[in-house]
Structure 1
């Protein structure tokens, strides 16, 4: 039987403001969409925390034996500076400042994003669509919203009429905002805008002559609105009604509010059962943000190249630090906090490494079944990683007592205990045992250097067939050799 049949997961739903029992639309299957990065600059550590929260959620669904389709997009057009409708596209602005093609900017920072997530041991999503790859789908949605009477055309641009939408729906259902208050607190543009109402948002923007990123549409050569992109990509791969939509807390309004409105105007139904929002990582008590410069880059953590850091910290230590806080809680970064996390991480890993040395006994004095269920209870309570980590440190205490001979476990219980610890530490939390990784790397380096020595001897003996065979087989394993004046080196 799948594990999810015996576990009862509760998820905090931002839409209701309550923890709710998780019931997927299709039994045994989970559809989850998470708003990905706008690739105009390097992601900072706060971004990493958001994506890490959903990486753990993805991992836990997989651990429970669900079949998961996890879609996380790349925004490569349409995200205007300051998250408004008027102004310059963030990627186009970066391209202009650096004298690059917009897609050069996109490629550079998409590769950087993937490299960073890989270094922090993220699982890749099932699908990673780009906004520019779904222009046709976005145009079709706009047509439907216009046909519903809620979208309107103005000078080649298309806008969403929130006042008209609110006559039969609730614009503000997710964020708890009242449209009358929003309109009252918004400055009137006095005819400077094509919008009917200040709160209306762009579905399609007519491109100015100098705007590089543009596509033909029935209304103008232009580009899609930022909010529309996620509606198009989520519904294309997950359907008009799916299980989970996630993102950072700062996306709740206006981005996710607008997504709900677009879906309801287009399909007549609410798109998502569970809205999930990860809270921010702060630095000096203030939100990390690329725009303000109050941030730490992942590379700075790994290198120690930042004035607030006493030294470099590994990706696994950083991951452990972040998971000590619940994903809905604000987490403040400091050198003292991550130093303390490093000590805890090392203590946990030392205990895990000691497990194989423990010998089984004829009887068990520890209730492993109850401990294991407490670990599940933590994750079933809205993915409560700090409580899970507390239970793992209870396991550390067990391991120390077992090593000292003060407690005992049968072979069956010891195997169950070991399997559970490894599952929660490595599969669910996504931590890595860096000592084991370093040891494996040392062994790999030793084997490759031995083969390089054999190849050098073959070349000296003019046995070029053997020399080429060694080189080609290493290439087949993803190991590249480079011959130079100082000898032969290799890279993975």
Structure 2
């Protein structure tokens, strides 16, 4: 019997607004599509959180014994500024500003994306298709939607007719918006607007003379609409109806709403059974923004080269921090939160390292199978990683008690505990084992902090000679102390 047959997984479905038992389209198989990055700049930390959430979901399905086809696309064309139907393509704009080819932009930032995800210990998706690699399929689906009467052509562009679609289906069911309300709240069309209605969106856009990325089509040279590529690539590789579609909360409208409309217009049926949306990441209680300086890139965290954090943090610590919040919750990143996550991570890794030294008893004082099922119950409850981590620290407590001789573990339970912890921590949460010189130096953090406390006491006692000696000795070891308004920090 496969493990998934023993577990009752429930997923919060954004479409229905409630948790539902997971039943795949094809037994034993899972088809999952996640909207990938638009590769015109370095990957945003908030995007990393979204992709990390679905990496964990992917890992859990694999652990349960499902055969998974995980498709995560690369948007390398058609994504205009401000997610609109007018303006410049984000990649073309970057290419123009840097005076390089658009595909150089794509290659540069796709490589950056893969490098960052590799550091975070992501599993690669089954398929990673690109928008430019599916232009022919996008043209074909536009033809089909036109034939069915749900789109119209204007001056070389093709637009989706939202009102016509809404009269036969329902536009807005994912985001909970009513078309009548949207129309009432939209300013009147200007004479220059070629759309029939403001709510209509582009399936194909005519390329203006300055537009670099363009392809031939039955309607003239142009490029595909941003929403269209995901409909094409998801249904091509997963079928007209598949199990899970994921992405950030910010994509629910209009991107995912338009995806549903396009697929229903083309195939006459809903394309996805379970819509999943990950929530945003904030920084020090505020939205991340490059313009305000309240922003961090992943490598700035890893290197400690930023004015926001007191020190560098490893990818494993950052991943552990992100797994401590439910994927549907807003998560706030701060120095204090990362410091706490680092301490928790070190405690967990230290406990795993102590497993071998636990004495064996004939009988156990703990019900390991009940604990193991509680771990599964947490994951089965819409992938509740914070509850899972709480259960992991329950096991950490047992390990320390057993090592001190205050709790008994049988040989079988010790083996079961070790395999279960490895599965939950490394295989499912995707946390990496400590690497010598990085996470293993976490104990150094405690020692340095002890010396900082001793130096602070010496300064308070006006024993400046001792305080200076501590500072200078650490400096000789390559550890620089930094005194600031919020206290003393250090950098290796």
TM class by shorter-chain length?
0.7 to 0.9
Give, in whole Å, the separation in 1 of the partners of 2:430 and 2:206: 44
Q: Does 1:432 align with 2:432?
A: yes
Residue 59 (str. 1) matches residue 59 (str. 2): yes
For the structure 1 residues 16 and 289, does the alpha-carbon distance in structure 2 shift closer, same or farther, using more than 3 Å as the test? farther
Q: What CA distance in whole angstroms lies between the structure 2 residues aligned with 1:167 and 1:369?
A: 54
Detail structure 1 runs of 4+ shifted over 6 Å in the superposition: 437-440
Query: Where in structure 1 are there 5+ consecutive unaligned residues?
Result: 441-492
| Equivalent-residue separation in structure 2 for 1:439 and 1:79 (angstroms) | 39
Matched, 1:151 2:139: no
Q: Does 1:367 align with 2:367?
A: yes
SS at the partner of 1:434?
Answer: coil
Query: Contact 1:73–1:129 (CA<8 Å) still a contact in 2?
Result: yes
Report the 3-state secondary structure (helix = DSSP H, G, I; strand = E; otherwise coil) of the residue aligned with 1:208.
coil
User: Is the 1:44–1:290 contact (alpha carbons within 8 Å) kept by the matching residues of 2?
Assistant: no
Alpha-carbon deviations, 1:210-235, whole Å to 9, x = none?
21100011011000000000001001
SS in 1 for 2:33: strand
Kept in 2, the 8 Å contact 1:7–1:376? The answer is: yes
CA distance in 2, matches of 1:67, 1:289: 39
Deviates more, 1:427-436 or 1:371-380: 427-436
- Tell me the residue number matched to 2:382: 382
Aligned pairs (5 A) from 1:106-121: 106-121=106-121
Would you say 1:249 and 2:246 are equivalent positions? Answer: no
Deviations 1:45-67 (A, max 9, x none): 11110100000000000010100
- 2: distance between equivalents of 1:345 and 1:308? 21
* Deviation digits for residues 363-389 of structure 1 (CA, Å, limit 9, x no counterpart): 111110000000000000000000000
**RMSD over equivalenced CA pairs, Å:** 1.3
| Contact residue 242 and residue 271 of structure 2 kept, 8 A | yes
1:293 CA displacement? 5.3
Instruction: Name the counterpart of 2:141.
Output: 141
Residues 368, 417 of structure 1: 8 Å contact kept: yes
Indicate whether 1:336 and 2:336 are aligned.
yes
Distance 2:385 2:181 in 1: 38
Q: Taking structure 1 as the reference length, what is the TM-score of the superposition?
A: 0.88
Please list, as runs of the form range in 1=range in 2, the aligned pairs for 1:345-360 lying within 5 A after superposition. 345-360=345-360
Per-residue CA shift, 1:29-88, capped at 9, x if unaligned?
Answer: 000000000000001211110100000000000010100000000000000000000110
Structure 2: which 5+ runs fail to align?
Answer: 441-492
SS at match of 2:392: helix
Partners of 1:199 and 1:254 in 2: CA distance = 10
Q: How far does the alpha carbon of each residue in 1:7-44 deviate from its partner, in whole angstroms, 9 at most, with x for none?
A: 11000000000000000010010000000000000012
1:38–1:79 contact (8 Å) kept in structure 2: yes
Shift of 1:430: 0.5
Q: How far is 1:295 from its partner?
A: 2.1
Query: Residue 138 and residue 289 in structure 1: after superposition, are their counterparts in 2 closer, same or farther (change >3 A)?
Result: farther
Does structure 2 retain, via aligned residues, the 8 Å contact 1:39–1:105?
Answer: yes
- The aligned residue for residue 128 of structure 1 is 128
Cα distance in 1 for partners of 2:365, 2:130 equals 55
The answer to whether the Cα contact below 8 Å between 1:46 and 1:280 also exists between their aligned partners in 2 is yes
Query: Are the counterparts in 2 of residues 160 and 201 from structure 1 also a CA contact under 8 Å?
Result: yes
